[in-house]
Amino acid sequence: QRTHEPRPTPPPNESDYYTLTHNPRGWCVVFNNEIFTGGLNNRKGTQEDADTLKEVFTRLGFQVKIHNNCTAEQMKKKINDLGKNNFKSDDALVVFVLSHGEKGCVFGTDWEKVLLKELTDPFTSGRAPTLTGKPKLFFIQACQGDGYQKGYRPCSREDENRKKEAWQADASIPDETVPELADFLIGMSTVEECKSFRNKRTGSIYIQELCKHQVMDDILTVLTRVNREISKGEFLSYKQMPEPKYTLTKKLVLKYI
């Protein structure tokens, strides 16, 4: 009787992976908004995220630039100026936004709005041709709504009060779609209509977990692992689930260099 032996797994095809050969790999730009005017609470703990991102992405071979406490117009200008760069010698682009927001936008420190689309549009193939075919990663640490994701484990009043002293929720940002062009990834710290949490002492759970797992595998596997680890946690007695959206066409593996 004829038997079917399992075929050995073929070696990975290099064409399945984005090429990362330049040193530096490209820019990692961080908008770190902590101190707000106009009634928004300051984002205590965000400096921990910025420091961690600088350490990790420098080791990953990126030039890291941190913009602290930018107004909406300053954010727009800096992102548009970045989009005018010649990326011929870059392998990738990474942008982090650590801020407050609401539906359809993130906030500058002046409580004015910046649309997520305004952050990504300068890097489409039409406007930044030297980034064509290269991965463009955007990570947004902010809420996407005012809802809370409930967990199933009971929490004592004592534990609840202790957690409330440490954890805060960032204001919401939009249910935006990924740009309809290839090679974008937008990593949202939470699913739509729900809050995202940040510890006032240790930083946001999303950014810290992302940096912890960054070099283990390709980026989508990393983000799946981040989803799993964050889903195990409980913040202010509630849950959080991140959500990546992407049009990547290859696997992306970031490694220390």
Helix (H, G, I), strand (E, B) or coil at 157: helix
- Which of 31, 54, 44 shows the shortest CA–CA distance to 203? 44
- 143 flagged as catalytic: yes
* CB-based contact 133:6 (threshold 8 Å): no
* CB-based contact 33:46 (threshold 8 Å): yes
Under the phi-then-psi rule, with left for phi > 0, alpha for psi from -120 to 50, and beta for the rest, what region is 74?
Answer: alpha
Active-site position among 28, 70, 105, 143: 143
Beta strand 184-188 with 243-246: parallel, antiparallel or unpaired? antiparallel
Distance CA 174, CA 10 (A): 41
Active-site position among 28, 100, 105, 211: 100
- 22 flagged as catalytic: no
What residues are labeled active site? 100, 143
